[in-house]
Amino acid sequence: MPLMPVTESMFLLGESREHPLHVGGLQLFELPDGAGPDYVGELHRALLDTDDIHPLLRRRPRDPVGSLGQWMWTDDDRLDLEYHVRLSALPTPGRVRELLELVSRLHGSLLDRHRPLWEAHLVEGLRDNRFALYTKVHHALLDGVSALRLLQRSLTTDPTVRDTRPPWAAREDEPRGPRSRTGVGAVLRDIAGLGPALAKYANEVFRAQTATLPFAAPRSILNVPITGARRFAAQGWPLARVRAVGDAAGATVNDVMLAMCAGALRRYLLELDALPEKPLVAAVPMSLRTGDDSAGGNALGMILCTLATDRPDPADRLAAITESTRSDKDVYRGMSQLQVTALSAIPFAPLALGLLPGAVRLTPPGFNLMISNVPGPTEPLYWNGARMLGVYPVSIPYEGQALNITVTSYNGSLEFGLTGCRRTVPHLQRLLTHLDTELADLERAI
């Protein structure tokens, strides 16, 4: 087994009880026609009846207790699949609310370092003929984008295919669903491989850079030390509605998504009497085309975007956000590819972000929260005949970044996953209501 690259070990070293560093995904399925009452139990037993596990999901840290030296991976020769693939049930009445409560709990506990760093939880007892699969994978193994892609490996566009191949199976063939169209995750991992030293350098560049921006992130209740417990909320909205707003306002889908988040956050913070006077600033990973891109293709980076949360009018906020995402690209135009990409590594480098206790209290936030948009499959997908109704990213709040919003798309729906520190971000579910209200308000206002 090779030495573990810094890009992987830093996620083990940077992890603590307060900062579990795993990413997750929640998939919602419809029970196929003719499914019996024990359908999910049978599926669980079928999934356990394999020892065909992806090599990445067989390895574990060789020295689980940790060290300041070099980490190594080793193969788990006693892989206990029953430990990794679990069956859970929802208490009555089995609404999405009970599902989100369960996922919140599951996402808040640390993965066992004595074992391969992943868990999958099949969930039964969801009403309206549905079941769910929540999967968590350590960031040292996979970033969020790759994890979402892994989840799609066992899906197909053909509803008649019956094959209980799980996402964690070893087959190396291509995913049958459409590929994610960006390489954000993979590229960021390469960059992170440059190590904490670069991240520290990048942090300094970042500070110098943001000093030239027309706005700076205010202090907010989202930018404080966090605890280990999590809250997760998720919901989807029709992409067509979002796109219609964008078309009417001359904005992108991404701009409208950011405007929904901005308006929802404004309402949420107003309710808590905690809205900063100055507008919140979001960090948004985006594909950036640089002027002198000799390598061709996309340069991937992170832009800072005002959320205009000081403005009461939704159309006004959307205009400010659209303007901001455009002009922020300009900020990066004169920078080298390395600078752009190094900047992008920051939110993925917990050591650089100051996981050391106390760091957050001293430095003002560079941004208030990260909002990512990861394109996903456009057609309906099936898992052994069970139609996937939705897929939601479950991400990582960091020290000083108590809320993460990650959005993906699936089959004409824009799927929001909100992950927050349970203590610092109370009543997270209210943000879903606010997102809904904001989309309706934008439709009226444009």
Question: Checking DSSP bridges between strand 118-126 and strand 85-89, what pairing results, if any?
Answer: parallel
Site string for its own copies, 330-369 (x = CB under 8 A): ---------------------------x------------
Q: Check residue 16 for interaction with its own copies (CB under 8 A).
A: yes
Toward its own copies, which CB reaches closer, 225 or 380? 225
Q: Which residues pair with 302 in a beta bridge?
A: 285
Helices and strands in the chain, H and E counts: 13, 14
Binding part of the chain for its own copies, among 36-44, 157-165, 411-419, 428-436 by CB under 8 A, reads 36-44
Residue 84 a catalytic site member: no
Tokens for 310, please give them. 């000081």
Binding part of the chain for its own copies, among 103-111, 265-273, 290-298, 411-419 by CB under 8 A, reads 103-111
Binding part of the chain for its own copies, among 1-9, 16-24, 262-270, 366-374 by CB under 8 A, reads 16-24
DSSP 328-376: HHHHHHTS-HHHHHHHHHGGG-TTTTT-STTHHHHS--S-SEEEEEE--
**Which single residue is written with the structure tokens 């196929």?**
32
Site string for its own copies, 370-409 (x = CB under 8 A): ----------------------------------------
Q: In angstroms, what is the minimal distance from the CB of 7 to its own copies? A: 22
How many residues of this chain bind its own copies (CB under 8 A)?
37
Residue of 109, 164, 287, 327 that binds its own copies (CB under 8 A): 109
> By the 8 A CB rule, do 85 and 2 touch?
no
> Which of the following is catalytic: 84, 139, 427, 434?
139
Q: Check residue 65 for interaction with its own copies (CB under 8 A).
A: yes
Helix, strand, coil share (%) of the chain residues, nearest 5: 35, 25, 40
> By the 8 A CB rule, do 314 and 259 touch?
yes
Q: Check residue 125 for interaction with its own copies (CB under 8 A).
A: yes
Q: In angstroms, what is the minimal distance from the CB of 69 to its own copies? A: 14
Binding part of the chain for its own copies, among 45-53, 106-114, 200-208, 429-437 by CB under 8 A, reads 106-114
Residue of 5, 18, 176, 209 that binds its own copies (CB under 8 A): 18
Binding part of the chain for its own copies, among 113-121, 145-153, 247-255, 311-319 by CB under 8 A, reads 113-121
Toward its own copies, which CB reaches closer, 107 or 311? 107
Segment holding 40, helix H or strand E: helix 39-48
Amino acid identity at 161: V
| 395 vs 148: CA distance, rounded Å | 11
Backbone angles phi, psi at 34, to 5 degrees: 80, 10
Site string for its own copies, 293-312 (x = CB under 8 A): --------------------
Toward its own copies, which CB reaches closer, 108 or 178? 108
Question: Checking DSSP bridges between strand 403-410 and strand 382-383, what pairing results, if any?
Answer: unpaired
> By the 8 A CB rule, do 354 and 363 touch?
yes
Q: In angstroms, what is the minimal distance from the CB of 98 to its own copies? A: 8
Tokens for 350, please give them. 């917990």
Q: Which of 433, 436, 56, 423 is nearest to 228 (CA)?
A: 423
Q: Check residue 444 for interaction with its own copies (CB under 8 A).
A: no
Tokens for 363, please give them. 């430095």
Residues in the chain: 446
Q: Maximum distance among all alpha carbons in the chain?
A: 62
| 182 vs 154: CA distance, rounded Å | 20
Taking the CB of residue 1, how many other CB atoms lie within 10 A of it? Answer: 9
Residue of 75, 112, 293, 313 that binds its own copies (CB under 8 A): 112
> By the 8 A CB rule, do 371 and 407 touch?
yes
Site string for its own copies, 67-96 (x = CB under 8 A): -----------x-x--x--xxxxxxxx---
Q: Check residue 124 for interaction with its own copies (CB under 8 A).
A: yes
Q: Check residue 37 for interaction with its own copies (CB under 8 A).
A: yes
Q: Check residue 12 for interaction with its own copies (CB under 8 A).
A: no
Residues engaged in binding its own copies (CB under 8 A): 16-18, 37-38, 40-41, 44, 64-65, 78, 80, 83, 86-93, 105, 108-110, 112-115, 124-125, 227-229, 357, 422-423
Tell me which residues are annotated as active site: 139
